[in-house]
Structure 1
Amino acid sequence: MTSGTGPIGGSRDHPPVMGGVPPADPDFTGREAILEQIHEALQRREGARYLIGGGSGVGKSLIARQYAHRYAEHYDLIWWVPAATDIDANGSFLRLAEQIGLTVSHDHIARTVQGVRRALTRDPRIGSWLLVFDGAADIETLVSDYVPEGGPGRVLITSRDHRRPRWNRVGRLIDGRVVPRLDTAESLSLLRKVCPERVEPLGTGERLAEHLEHLPLALSQVGAFLRESPLETEEFFERFQERYTDMVTRMGTDDEHTAPLAAAWAIQAEELLGDTDDDTGRAVVELVRLCAFLAPLPLSRSFFTRARGLGDAPGRRGPFGDEVRLDRVLEFMRRRRLVSVDPGNDTFHLHELFQEVIRDSMPLVEKLRYRELARRVLAHNDPGEPADPAHRDRYLVLHAHVKESQAWSSRDPRVRSLVLNVIDFLTETGEYPKAVGVADQAVNAWGDDPASLMHARLRRNKIRRIHSEYATALAEARDIHREQLDRGGPEADETLEALRAVAIALSGLARFDEAEHLFEQILEHRRARTGSEPDAHTLEAAHDYAQVLQEQGRFDQALLVSERNLRERAALLGPDSVPTLRTDLNLGLTLMSLGRWEEARDRLEECMERFEAISAAETPHALQGLLFLALVHRDLGDTETGLEYSSRALALYRRHYPPTVRQTLYCRVVHMVTLTRAGRRDEAAEEARRVLPPTDERFPDGHPFPAWARVGIGIVLRAQGAFTRAAVMDQAALERLQRIYGPGSFTTLPAALNLATDLYGSERHADARELDALTEAGCRDLVADTHPILLTARRNHLVSRHTLGEDVKEEWSELRRTLAERFGSAHPSVASMSSYTRQDCDVLPVMVV
């Protein structure tokens, strides 16, 4: 929680914590009855919700803002949540999580959002709170995903979507009302505050309000314009009526509501552009038009100061890269009510309706120009490192602007690079549907540029693989590779990237020999080019090669490749870069497979601490680390810790992925066996019943994972005493692994060990002994004397021999001493040796997710 000992939001003796609440509008007027109605409704009960509905520009947000400031003394915490998109709402909830002392996860934002909802519902230290959701597009989705279900708080929502009735998901009506435009008295009151000298003589204010159709946004802007303009009021009326009539003639009925604001802006823009003595006006128009093509979010000043050089082109006099000019322009826009400014956050915000009016008022050639200029501003704000957790907040905002500006339609290479980086960011953070959406747009738009098109197609191909669509991914990757081979030759970077996609797809289809050949070929090309100073592409190729060696059970070779690659990645990219940590995870997995469990545990735990330190503990890569830690702790006898890791991993995998994609299935099998080890056999049995059909559907015949799933299910069945059914699973697993890796390979040993236990449990002791002898002999040929698989094979063979009448007492005591030295006397494998009992083998050597 936050520091200090008092309530998070303070006590009623002190002002409330106010997060993101825009400053109060000094010109706010009228709406007194609405404010009182809102307060009365919200104070009736804890958990009350109130919806302020109405058309754009009627002042819904101003009313919510005024309520927050006027009635602040009734709350300990007031938090303003921009709710036009999930990007806005998520960012606000992340900041709220920090405020109330929760762990913030940028890697899976939904988890943090739900944590905030729970805390607001249950934590009394937060006190009485008010959440203001401004500009919600979909009330039902907002209530379902963001609004807390209880607690000592209230919720205020503004939305154009004001259909009634509104129900939350527990069946309680959301109270509310539709906000009308101002009445004549309220309009006059507003104009007298903004431009008192322009409402005289009698009747002038009424005419002005009528012309602007009593729309608060238009009244505020026009009043501020007239206050500072030399234009006579009567001349304004004449010019307004002329433009208004012309616009209504050309508009459809659905757009007529924007005509007053559009006509007023046309007059103001003419005045600003016509002043040749001061370039501020032209810069204002430039900035307003550009911002019209960005998402309706608060915009940071730094967003434009980073865009140095954009103002140098002829005719462009915007404040790009010039802080002094930007300050002057924003101050002018603030006085003219063209933007709302939040000095505390150093941001400004154009009203969404004003943005719409600006876009619609421009001729096509100007729309194209300013949309492209907006895209170039975005490109200047690209950090260029989408995998770096430090840039998550900026990429969240850039994604919203990329969508709004349709940045994929740009031909500028820098803008296209930004689009690719946004796709990478969305993929890195597990936002796969959004990543596919942007990638599809890029693929459709970039036919003029083969290189950019290839990069977009490869990113989409990667997401296909993540979703287990390996056959489709392979066909697409081969097409891309053929095209690049013809275009650039076999050693071009683009050709090698496409070939890598082919190799990864082959690996996913369990065609490991073919994949290894390609990965080795790519690595040789890369190393030949870079020599003793490998670049990032070379190190990625080495990572791929080590991984395919693991998948083939060649762990000693994989260890050598990964150890070298870890050193080189750390030297080039830093020890805490995500690529370096990925190789570290791979190295930990290899150590597990080699039976070096303690080393693996220590390495993996350190690796996860480093993921945590860079705020990347819930990226898809780090989720593998949780899974590996569940395995290694379980096998080291710490079942409770193993279950904690597997439970956490499964919850996160289910949030990142559908329940039947490969990543989740891997985790489900690990968790299933861990549940069995923890004595939660009913839960494990239920998972065993459900996991096999999607596993067989998702993996091809030649893939080893369905065999490992059957090994896991066999463990669950044996725990229930169902040895015959377990034998069916283990026999099928053994046959499959032998087909893939060959008889007697290391990877077949766990299935053979467990099948012998099935035979023993079915009282086929002689058959069990025969298989035990063969398996132990195979282990001795392949692994070190202290490898856990060999120790399990020795134990099980001794039990079979003992049951058949042999005297194995001395050998049993010797094995017990070996196990105690290897794992400690508290390990279950040692403690259980008080009697001649067999042990399962649940090592999963092939676990590259």
Structure 2
Amino acid sequence: MGLLELATPRDSADLSPAHKTWANESSGVTWLRDLFPYRRYGARVLSYEYDIDTLTAPGGPAATGIYDEAVKLVNELQADRYIQDAERRPIVFICHGFGGLLVKRALSFSHSRRDVRVEHLRSIFRSTVGILFMSTPHNGITKQSLALAEFNQYGGPSQFLLSLLEGSEALQEITDQFAPLMKIFFIYNFWEQIATSFGKSRAFIVDRTSAAPSWSDVDQCGINSTHSGMVKYTSGSSPGFRIVLATLDRYIRAADSAIRKRWQRDAELLRKERLAEFEDLIESQHPAGSVNSFGVSGSDSATLLDSSAISEAEADEFLDDEPSPSVNVHYLVHRRSEYFVGRLRQSDELRTKFGAPKRGRRRKPETCVIYGLPGSGKTQFCLRFSEDNRHRYWGVFWIDCSSEANANASFALLSERAGKGQEIGAGQEWLSRSTDPWLLVLDNANDPEMDLHSFIPATGNGHVLITTRNPNAQIYSTIGSFQFRGMDPEEAILLLLNLAYPGSEPRVNKDASWNYARLIASELGYLALALKQAAYTIRRQLLPLERYLRSLLGCRKALLSRPILESSADVNIIATYELPFTGIASKSSIEYRDAVELLHVLAFMHFVSIPEGIFSRSSDSFKVSKWSSIRPAAIVEPRSSQGVGDRILAAAKVLYDHSIISISDIQSTARDNVWRTPSSTKLFSLHPAIHQWARERLNDSEQRQWLECTASILAHCVSHNLETSGRAFRQHLLPHIESCLSLLEIAHPKLPENLEQCSVIEKFGLVYAENGLWKRARSLQLKVVEFRTKYLGKRHVETIQAQRGLANTYWNLFEIAKCLEVQHQILITNWWTRPAWRDWVTWPPWKPVHIPYCIALDDLTRSLWLAGRRELSLRAGKRAVDGLTRKLGLDDPLTLNAMFNLARTYLHIGEHEKSYDLLEVVLEKRTRFFGTEHPDTLMTMNEMGMNLCAQRVRLDDAERLVSAALRIRKRILGEEHAYTLWSVNDLSKVYCEVGRYQEAVDMLEEIVPIVRRTLGETHAGMLMTKSNLSRAYMLCERWRDARSLLELLCEQVPPETADWAHAQYGYAFILVHDGDLGGAEARCDAIIEKVGETGVLAMDSARVLATAELLYRIYRTQGGREADLAGLEERFPHLGREQAERPRSIDLIPLKPVGRRTTRDLDDGSSN
């Protein structure tokens, strides 16, 4: 095979058809030899023959076939033209089918030969004037075409044929390399217009969209013939012949001038490139001010490292190649697979690129991207690299980037490991501040719409690895990237044999088994994942080694009719798993039937860390649910949850034995045992490609049914009560809920569509809310409330339940107005809807005391307190406590909640003793029932400490209580949890009260950036923190800092809230200190006026009385304001009394140093 001369004239051009054979079967006519007037043009006709059978046979050179043939074409054509002394003779290529891909690759190869030692091969590129593509599959061939009998004489398509599928990486690579050259050549694309017959079916081998893509400035035309017939003309009247002849005529006439200019331009271009390279080389060897061949330049030749030019740290970085000794403290990586082999060269190169990790550096992290085919070992490579280099890093962290939600969940776990709660940004902030070396792996970042910059810390002493199928992700790399395809052929063969025959002697002689393994490895594209699965199938004797290849090809052919295949890698991976799964599905034993159903369920969860406890926890309630039409036998048949667990584990063992899933112990996956759920001991995981196959092998109807079944299972393992003991378990449900919910929203655009769906997404919303994902929870809860209100009515108990969950989410989002609106609706509904007739005969009847109504009152108590409407909160709280105590008793958790909320309201209106009495009872009972570390106990402990602080008594106990709550919240909830930050604010108030002003400032300044990042600049938590910080600044006499903070607060806080009055009061206080009594007076007048208009505060509240007191002193200082003083005394009688004390409130603790200084100035009648 090679070049064949069909016609000898050699004056003007070489016509080089790249084809297998173009002879007409019936007449024997080869048109380029028998019909084309080559003598008229003085054209030589060269035919390049290649062995298509060798290329398409199983085990052929699939990975390198096109490249090898392209190199051979260039070398043979150049050699022939060199011998003929015709290297500058123009060339026109005429290509049919695959031959067009071969020519495109050959031209890009020729163009790449730039070095003077191989420049002779560049002559093919320089001399090519035009190309005729005859049904060339530029964009690939369809699966339907590939399934036709002509391609499948071996029982199924080979790896080479699979590489011609639409959208394949091999085709994309050829297109990318040829694209920069397209404008240089004349190009004509032809396509077939008559389908080819294959028995009873007909199909186009290459459809128009692939044969004639929408390239600009390119001729294209259809030929009224079949794929084979379009190049087998028998006469001048054959379809398409005249168009082809005219095209060749134009190309030949234009050839001499075009090629002459191209040779000149290209030679000049290479000359300039080489000159620039030479200058760069000289510059790099002899930079200005560097050591030259005669000695050391510069004034001081005593040292090469002038300390004025290079710092000590920089010198260390250049001179010290050894890594700083490091102790690995954090290793958040699941164990590497034992089957991984190879990639040692890339591992060494990556280690060199990253350099030696050192302590003390903080700079932009270095990032390397690893991209390539699914199943090529990207993740396994990173696992191996993490394990082998663990000792070099203080911390190694693994982030699942298969979706943005999963990435956020992974970062939440990282934040928890950092002791900062589950705030997503806290983990990145932790890494960015670390001076110890760390490694961060962003795995499965395949979504091209995902912005990975948001997951890479801005600074820090770190290295980042990204694995992805998306080649465009290379933009994130700072030190280069690796493209993974198949393994090294020898390593792939060894992997297959070693896994298929474990324990056997290493194979030295390449026997029959080696040859079978070579064919199988080649056909699987040397992909590690596919090789592993093939080996396990052979090892379990489901298929012997010598029969595996034919079964694989047959399975491929059957798979071509399915929509799930998108690339040759997909086919390779899917076929290797379809073979053993078909065997599982064909068996009738219970564990095998359960295994099939279990895989269908796992396909709709997230692919990593699926706890087997999901199934046992959900079994009881799932059995009575009505939504799912599919009832997995392993869940509904056993009589106990233990029986369910046993059936599930037996089914999982079947899948594990066939290498479809992996099973690990929870303890080995999370070494700090964050699950804390003894009922769940095993985790199931799937490779992402297998996870996708397991889902997409089902038809649309089956996918919908199994999706609904999976959603129901997940929902039924979540209780409405959200027991504290199951919180860690529910946290790890998040990625599975997110995976399932995203698919539900696609399958049901108007979700929910029925009451069962309503219940499912309500449960999902509860889990989101419990884990602080309030906005995601709100979107689901709004849908549930709307649907149930429409179909059940607003008075139905399930509607009220959904409304209560929504109101709670509004509360946590500090959307207090919406929260109060929903809770008021619930209260009214519960007023009209009473459980029994006796609930109507209470006295007075307009004050019911049934439990749902009292719970609604308690919810309002808490929200009205947060809104600053303390009087209404007090009224609601008293009624809630009274009703729940009568109905449930003092020990019920609902009663304790109401007592706590009422106590907090008492505290904030200054009734400290009543508050303390209630808190004392609640703390004792919650400690006894729930323990000292329960969130509700900690809330009570914190509030009791603030009660003592407000009373200014037992301040040591106040500090002890709040400090203890803070310490435990840091450990359990994390340093950046909202309640932890709340405790920091409260402890700062205690510090201010005991005179530790600077400590208060320090702790508040430390959390300001955290609150800003986690809650936002205008969040109520940020406003509270800034308010407390401004007060601490004033106590430290840092007036300018306090004023700048309060100016912002006065702008940001809404005027209809109590916090606005507090901010305005603080700013007025500073204006007094600065001597601006007029400005301070205006602020005080505004506060009193606004309170009178809105009723947001009672006129006898601590804040209003403090404002009146400040205004009173301003009047006295100014003098001549007797009428105003009298009016103020009439309105606030306590002002004129000696030694009178205004009520104290936790909302307004006196500013003692400020009071001493400013009060003296005011009383002396002087202004500042």
| Interval containing the TM-score (normalised by the shorter chain) | 0.7 to 0.9
Counterpart residue identity of residue 1034, structure 2? T
Post-superposition Cα deviations, 1:571-623, rounded to whole Å, max 9, x if no partner, equal 44445432233334444444555554836555434443454565466543443
Q: Quick one: which of 985, 989, 998 aligns to 1:627?
A: 985
The correspondence of residues 407-418 of structure 1 with structure 2, limited to 5 A, is 411=756, 418=763
Structure 2: unaligned runs, 5 residues or longer: 1-321, 359-364, 505-509, 624-630, 670-681, 745-750, 836-847
Q: Which residue of 1 aligns with 2:459?
A: 149
1:336 equivalent to 2:658? Answer yes
Q: Pick closer, same or farther for the CA change 1:243–1:281 going to 2, 3 Å.
A: same
2:767 match: 422
The residue aligned with 1:539 is 896
Aligned residue in 2 for 1:395: 730
- Contact 1:280-1:328 within 8 A present in 2 as well: yes
Write the mapping of 1:582-601 to structure 2, written as runs, cut at 5 A: 582-594=939-951, 596=953, 598=955, 600-601=958-959
Task: Report the counterpart of residue 602 of structure 2 in structure 1.
Answer: 291
2:371 aligned with 1:53, yes or no? Answer: yes
Indicate conservation of the 8 Å contact 2:440/2:463, yes or no. Answer: yes
1:711, CA displacement in angstroms? 0.3
**Residue type at the aligned position of 2:425:** A
Describe the shift of the 1:688–1:239 C-alpha distance in structure 2 as closer, same or farther (beyond 3 A): same
AA partner of residue 750 (structure 1): A
Task: Give the stretch that moved more between structures: 34-43 or 557-566.
Answer: 557-566
Matched with 1:845 is none
Query: For residues 26-57 of structure 1, what are the alpha-carbon distances to aligned partners after superposition, in whole Å with 9 as ceiling and x for unaligned?
Result: 43344344334323322388753211112432
Over 3 Å counting, the alpha-carbon distance change for 1:780 and 1:206 in structure 2 is: farther
Alpha-carbon contact 1:309-1:321 (below 8 Å) kept? no
Counterparts in 2 of 1:689-838, with a 5 A limit?
Answer: 689-696=1047-1054, 699-700=1055-1056, 703-737=1057-1091, 740=1095, 743=1099, 746-759=1102-1115, 762=1118, 778=1134, 828=1153
Pair 1:625–1:704, CA change in 2 (3 A):
same
What secondary structure, in the 3-state scheme, does the structure 1 residue paired with 2:471 have? coil
Q: Which amino acid aligns with 1:336?
A: H
Alignment partner of 2:689 out of 338, 348, 353: 353
Classify 1:80/1:342 alpha carbon distance in 2 versus 1 (closer, same or farther; 3 Å).
farther
Question: Cα distance 1:321–1:367, how it changes in 2: closer, same or farther (>3 A)?
Answer: farther
TM-fit CA distance, 1:353: 1.6
User: Following TM superposition, by how much is the alpha carbon of 1:416 offset from its aligned partner in structure 2, in angstroms?
Assistant: 6.8
Deviations 1:516-564 (A, max 9, x none): 444444333322211x444122222233334445555555554554444
1:132 is matched with which residue: 441, 447, 453?
A: 441
> What pairs up with 1:271-670 in 2 under 5 angstroms?
271-276=583-588, 279-300=590-611, 315-316=633-634, 321=642, 333-340=655-662, 344-345=668-669, 347-363=683-699, 366-367=702-703, 370-371=706-707, 374-375=710-711, 378=714, 382=718, 388=724, 393-406=728-741, 411=756, 418-419=763-764, 421-427=766-772, 431-440=773-782, 442-443=784-785, 451-482=797-828, 489=835, 493-494=851-852, 496-498=854-856, 500-501=858-859, 514-530=872-888, 532-550=889-907, 557-594=914-951, 596=953, 598=955, 600-601=958-959, 603-612=961-970, 614-615=972-973, 618-648=976-1006, 650-670=1008-1028
Residue identity in the other structure for 1:426: N
Which residue number corresponds to residue 193 of structure 1?
A: 498
Q: Which residue of 2 aligns with 1:6?
A: none
CA-to-aligned-CA distance 1:258-296 (integer Å, 9 cap, x gap): 3443344333222113234x5444443343332222212
Please report the RMSD computed on the Cα atoms of aligned residues, expressed in angstroms: 4.8
Using the alignment, how far apart are the partners of 2:326 and 2:905 within structure 1?
62
Residue 838 of structure 2 is matched in structure 1 by none
Q: Match for residue 111 of structure 1?
A: 426
From the superposition, tell whether residues 199 and 339 of structure 1 become closer, same or farther in structure 2 (CA, over 3 Å): farther
1:236/1:253 CA distance change after superposition, 3 Å:
closer
Residue pair 1:426, 1:435 contacting (<8 A) in 2 also: no
For residue 177 of structure 1, give the secondary structure of its aligned residue in structure 2.
strand
Alignment partners' CA distance in 1, 2:730 and 2:909: 38
Residue 65 of structure 1 corresponds to which residue in structure 2? 383
Please tell me the residue identity of whatever aligns with 2:1072.
R
Residue pair 2:862, 2:873 contacting (<8 A) in 1 also: yes
Q: Aligned partners of 1:69, 1:568: CA distance in 2, in Å?
A: 49
Deviation by residue 1:317-343 (Cα, 9 ceiling, x = unmatched)? 899746777666656544533234556
SS of the counterpart of 1:670? helix
Provide closer, same or farther for how the CA distance between residues 59 and 310 of structure 1 changes in structure 2, counting only shifts above 3 A: farther
Indicate yes or no: 2:606 matched with 1:261. Answer: no
- Correspondent of 2:467 among 143, 158, 178: 158
8 A Cα contact 1:117 1:146, kept in partner: no
Q: Is the contact made by 1:97 and 1:116 (CA closer than 8 Å) also made in structure 2? A: no
Structure 1, unaligned runs of 5 or more: 1-9, 796-822, 840-849
Identity %: 17
| Higher alpha-carbon deviation: 455-464 or 565-574 | 565-574
Structure number with bigger Rg: 2
Name the counterpart of 2:1037. 679
Change (3 A) 1:334 1:780: farther
SS at match of 2:370: strand
Write the distance in 1 (CA, Å) between the matches of 2:759 and 2:727.
19
SS at match of 2:1110: helix
Q: Distance in 2 between matches of 1:594 and 1:627?
A: 18
- TM-score of the superposition, structure 1-length normalised? 0.76
**Structure 1 residues 55 and 247: CA distance shift in structure 2, 3 A:** same
Distance 1:487 1:228, change over 3 A: farther
Q: Secondary structure at the match of 1:51?
A: strand
TM-score (norm 2): 0.57
SS at match of 1:473: helix
The one-letter code sitting in structure 2 at the alignment partner of 1:176 is S
Q: Which has the higher helix share?
A: 1
Q: Does the aligned pair in 2 maintain the 1:27–1:193 contact within 8 Å? A: no
Of stretches 719-728 and 495-504 in structure 1, the one that deviates more from structure 2 is 495-504
Rounded Cα–Cα distance in structure 2 between residues aligned with 1:301 and 1:80: 22
For residue 472 of structure 2, give the secondary structure of its aligned residue in structure 1: coil
Question: 1:808 aligns to what?
Answer: none
Report the counterpart of residue 563 of structure 2 in structure 1: 251
752-761 or 74-83, larger mean C-alpha shift? 74-83
Structure 2 residue matching 1:653: 3-state secondary structure:
helix
